[in-house]
A and B are shown apart, each in its own frame.
Chain A
Amino acid sequence: SAVISQKPSRDICQRGTSLTIQCQVDSQVTMMFWYRQQPGQSLTLIATANQGSEATYESGFVIDKFPISRPNLTFSTLTVSNMSPEDSSIYLCSVEGGSSYNEQFFGPGTRLTVL
């Protein structure tokens, strides 16, 4: 399985600012995913990021709020823009497992608190 790291591991931010979260994988992968896990909740897919193409956003998430970059096969960033306290969540990146069975492997997450 892939080894995935995220930076920062946690942050406390002020309302109205933006934070960029980095996701690094130790091997080349085609598909990367960004999830939000709100306090006490399950995972909600924000977008799918394929290298060389625009990210595909899920219903309820827009590029202006969550811009994503995918410059190569081992790296992606998610920016949380113009933050409000409602954006306080854990943000997780994941990668496809390389088989054809939908498995994904997850990073450790970024714990974001917005004041």
Chain B
Amino acid sequence: AQSVTQLGSHVSVSEGALVLLRCNYSSSVPPYLFWYVQYPNQGLQLLLKYTTGATLVKGINGFEAEFKKSETSFHLTKPSAHMSDAAEYFCAVGRRGSNYKLTFGKGTLLTVNP
């Protein structure tokens, strides 16, 4: 069974500050890991993904995440927050042979203060 834990249901940062959203996963096999973003009244948009290879992955809008197997983590970062980054962020885990099923974390609401 897989599970995802997102630490902090709400993160607030100032514009220009570092964004760090935490995600830890549990998986019995090497995972595929994803970050999705949901803007108000919209569906989910794929931000970035880790499948194999390089553990530091870059996504859209300046976000990146690092897969750390020893820590079972996949934290999302952005060096400088922008007002437009305000949204809900979901971490998700999948695995080979699971027919594309994903397990989602509970989400982290990011607010950006001017």
Q: Which residues of A contact B (CB under 8 A)?
A: 1, 4, 31, 33, 41-43, 45, 48, 92, 94, 96-97, 99-109, 111
Tell me, in angstroms, the Cα distance from A96 to B104 when the chains sit together: 15
B98 CB–A CB distance under 8 Å: yes
B100: A residues at CB distance < 8 A? 31, 33, 48, 96, 102, 104
- For A102, A104, A106, A111, the residue with the greatest tally of chain B CB atoms inside 10 Å of its CB is A102
- Asked if B106 lies at the interface with its beta carbon under 8 angstroms from chain A, I say yes
Query: Are A103 and B46 in touch, CB under 8 angstroms?
Result: yes
B49 nearest in chain A by CB position: A103
Q: Is the CB of B43 within 8 A of A42?
A: no
Chain B interface residue count, Cβ-Cβ cutoff 8 angstroms: 24
Q: Among B32, B96, B104, point to the contact of A43 (Cβ < 8 A).
A: B104
- CB of B32 within 8 A of CB of A106, answer no
Would you call the interface of chain B mostly helix, strand, loop, or mixed? Answer: loop
Determine whether the beta carbon of B45 is less than 8 Å from that of A43: no
Knowing A42-B104, A108-B43 are in contact, say whether A31-B99 is a contact too (CB < 8 A). yes
- Given the interface pairs A42-B90, A48-B99, the reply to whether A106 lies near B44 with Cβ below 8 Å is yes
**What are 25 A-B contacts with C-beta separation under 8 Å?**
A4-B43, A31-B100, A41-B107, A42-B90, A42-B106, A43-B44, A43-B90, A43-B104, A45-B102, A48-B100, A92-B43, A92-B44, A96-B100, A99-B51, A100-B96, A101-B49, A101-B94, A102-B34, A102-B100, A103-B46, A104-B100, A108-B42, A109-B42, A109-B43, A111-B41
Complex CA–CA separation, A81 to B37 (angstroms)? 30
**Which residue in chain B gives the minimum CB-CB distance to A4?**
B43
User: Residue of B at shortest CB range from A41?
Assistant: B106
Q: Which of B43, B95, B107 contacts A102 (CB 8 A)?
A: B95
Structural contact, B43 and A106, CB atoms closer than 8 A: yes
Query: Which A residues touch B51, using CB under 8 A?
Result: 99, 101
User: Inside 8 A of B96's CB, which chain A residues have their CB?
Assistant: 100
In the complex, which residues of chain B have a beta carbon less than 8 angstroms from the beta carbon of A104? 46, 100, 102
The CA-CA distance from A4 to B101 in the complex, in Å, is 18
